[in-house]
Amino acid sequence: MRIRVSVVQLDIVLGRADVNRDRVVEFVIEVARRGSKVVVLPELWLTGYAPNIDSLAEDVFKGVTVAILSKIARDYGIYIFGSIPEENSGKIYNSIPLITPRGVAGVYRKIHLFKLMNEHKIFSSGDKVVVLETEFGRIGFAICYDIRFPEMIRSMVFNGIKILITPAEWPCQRIDVWRTLIRSRAIENQIYVLASNRVGKDTNNKYCGNSAIIDPYGDYVVEAGRKEEVILTTDIDLDLVEEARETIPILKDYIPEVYSRVEVVKS
């Protein structure tokens, strides 16, 4: 099965939810007009790491931002994924609302909080891995730092995902690590990775983009540079997932019961 997908790379105006929302609406409508079925936005695209992020957080199921994007999703038959600050039961999460053509199916809340950027002082950690069932296959989600935890991704693969969605705010000083990790997750799991990283800067960091769509063999289908306002759009063939897994049967050769038996020997 072939579907058209898009990844949006953009700068984020710190703390200006109104400005960022208006720009993203324009991008999403453009992506929809291109015929894309899925669009991926960066991490915290609505606010960035704004000092007042807690006051800008929204209820995923009642907030204005998700309501606006949900209408676009219904009108154009598109899936929209990107993280925003979420308020839920008095806690703040870094969350991806699962916006589908039929409404908000659920939410993925970032599990691994990045202490170097003080995320643990702002957000609560999510407590479950989330897989979305769609008409073209299952999709998994990992936000930025999550991508460093391959066991999390593998758990989604064993629950049938063919696509991994990865929004990020990955700084320039570690951009080569970003490129290595998103490619590694594609190779070792034989899945498509749709990765959106912001560009620009905030009070503490500069961000260098390199958003990408990577196929199940680990090849770059398309990659952005470091410019803002880039939309990557391409057709992907989901049958390539099974082809890759038959060619190199990593998952069939997986032996988890052995990995827990570690013998430490003295030299």
pLDDT of 261 strictly over 90: yes
Read off the pLDDT band of 230 (50, 70, 90): confident
Task: Please report whether residue 266 resides in a domain.
Answer: no
Tokens (6 digits) for 232: 């990557």
Q: In the prediction, which pLDDT does 176 show? A: 97
Task: Please report whether residue 91 resides in a domain.
Answer: yes
Task: Please report whether residue 134 resides in a domain.
Answer: yes
Least Cα distance to 36 among 239, 221, 241, 236 occurs for: 236
Task: Please report whether residue 175 resides in a domain.
Answer: yes
Task: Please report whether residue 234 resides in a domain.
Answer: yes
Query: pLDDT, tens digit, for every residue of 148-171?
Result: 999 999 999 999 999 999 999 999
Of the chain, the percentage scoring pLDDT greater than 90 comes to: 96
Query: pLDDT, tens digit, for every residue of 116-142?
Result: 888 999 999 999 999 999 999 999 999
Task: Please report whether residue 43 resides in a domain.
Answer: yes
Give mean pLDDT, residues 63-78.
97
Query: Tell me, what amino acid is at 204?
Result: N
Say which residue the tokens 């069932």 belong to: 133
b/e for 103-138, b at 16 or more Cβ within 10 A?
A: ebeebbbbbbbbeebebeebbbebeebbbbebeebb
Give catalytic residue positions: 43, 110, 144
Task: Please report whether residue 267 resides in a domain.
Answer: no
Task: Please report whether residue 265 resides in a domain.
Answer: no
pLDDT of 193 strictly over 80: yes
Residues pairing with 108 in the sheet: 96
Tokens (6 digits) for 219: 């090849």
CATH number of the domain that residue 12 is part of: 3.60.110.10
Least Cα distance to 3 among 42, 39, 41, 28 occurs for: 39
Q: In the prediction, which pLDDT does 227 show? A: 84
Domain total in the chain = 1
Q: In the prediction, which pLDDT does 116 show? A: 87
Domain region containing 108: 2-259
Q: Are 142 and 164 in contact (CB under 8 A)?
A: yes
* pTM score of the predicted model: 0.96
Q: In the prediction, which pLDDT does 214 show? A: 98
> Strands 84-88, 91-100: parallel, antiparallel or unpaired by DSSP?
antiparallel
pLDDT of 229 strictly over 80: no
